[in-house]
Amino acid sequence: MSRRHALVTGAGSGIGKAIALALAADGHTVSLAGRRAAPLEAVRDEIRASGGEAFVHHGFDVTDAGSVERGIAGAIAQADDIAVLVNCAGEAPSAPFEKTDLALWQRVLSINLTGVFLVTQAALASVRRAGNGRIVNVASTAGLTGYAYVSAYCASKHGVIGLTRALALELARSDVTVNAVCPGFTDTPLIDGALDTISEKTGRSREDARATLARANPQGRLVTPGEVAHTISWLVSEKATAITGQAIAVAGGEIL
């Protein structure tokens, strides 16, 4: 199972990039899916420089069924059936509930939840054909609890965990497992955007805002993208065959 085809959405930066690098280091051929070519190409070059193999699939819009179907078909044609699917594309804008308009709500759910549905549905037949298939959805601790000012994000990630559990039961008698990984506050460009927003709205420094987020983790720090990636590396291995339908928090004890 070590050298198989893995497709990662949102693979150009942050957690998605870390996942792609970890899977490549494990020996997988990695299809890097995302909307923008440049960051995906940079990740591909890094993988190839380390002796791995990766392919870029840019213009991959998880909110558009046609784009998803074309991207999945292209990845299969280039690297054979997809044995490992990691849904990582996501967005986390913040706004008070009363200022969360319908456009923001629909955009967040479209990317974070409907995107997981569209990509998984398009890839599932291929994952079945590959045998010992693995589907991992990157959710969030926001899918396990609530946070203020990110109601759309929380709703979308709760939905991802519900979808994960339902599909895991549907596929339980097959050789496909379906799990979710739920990072806490993680040191990524997504957090950088949140820090900018907090600083702008409260007048606090970015360093103070970062310290506040770190304190949510009982370990007193932000999670690293690599820690999330290593969890996924284990979940897609043969060592995790009996693990399915789970929502695993990678959050230093924030969620118990």
Cα 240 to chain centroid distance, Å, stands at 18
Identify the H or E element spanning 56. Answer: strand 54-57
- 149 has catalytic annotation: no
CB burial of residue 207 (10 Å; 0-12, 13-18, 19+): exposed
Cα gap 184→191, rounded to integer Å: 11
For residue 222, give every residue at least 6 positions away whose Cβ sits within 8 Å of its Cβ, in sequence order, or none: 184, 185, 186, 187, 191, 210, 213, 214
Q: Which residue among the candidates 16, 153, 178, 232 is catalytic per the annotation?
A: 153
Q: Any idea which residues carry the catalytic annotation?
A: 153
